[in-house]
Structure 1
């Protein structure tokens, strides 16, 4: 059984495979995030690397995005099609 990379074992920079394991995604999905610029990475020695603090910031931002979306969906404004992208996100019925 594979275990998650520990902080001491992988150091400051994570490979895309390490990053994928931490986020429970595929390497291809991580590469897509890097290619789109959503997850900042650098090339070191011909390989893409994600700095540990950058990954931690990315995870925190995703939590904040999720929290804000939850609050938005609970708000009265979520039922106004013009503000919710043309669809009603929740129903009180």
Structure 2
């Protein structure tokens, strides 16, 4: 059985509040990341949704070696 390619419909979308909880920051920090273009988001009506993969990728990019 062939697997189907992952598309946008296979993605899990998170609210700004869920992303803020995941990152342990305020919602305002997430809004700043979205508006600055550092975190990709989709506008749905008056709110934003962030793909879980994009939030995880942002966190991966943000790590640095403090040692």
TM range (shorter): 0.7 to 0.9
Q: Which residue of 1 aligns with 2:25?
A: 25
Correspondence for 2:6: none
Give the stretch that moved more between structures: 13-22 or 36-45. 36-45
Secondary structure of 1:17's aligned partner: helix
Q: What are the ranges of 5 or more consecutive residues in structure 1 without an aligned counterpart?
A: 1-10, 72-93
Task: Provide the alpha-carbon RMSD of the alignment.
Answer: 1.6
Richer in helix (by share): 1
Cα deviations by residue, 1:7-64 (Å, 9 ceiling, x for unpaired): xxxx70000000000111110111011111111111124310110000111111112x
Quote the Cα distance in structure 2 between the aligned partners of 1:51 and 1:44: 13
| Alignment TM-score, normalising by the size of structure 1 | 0.55
CA distance in 2, matches of 1:27, 1:21: 8
Tell me the TM-score normalised to structure 2 length: 0.75
Count of matched residue pairs: 57
Q: Which has the higher contact order (CA 8 A, sep 6+)?
A: 2
Structure with greater proportional strand content: 2
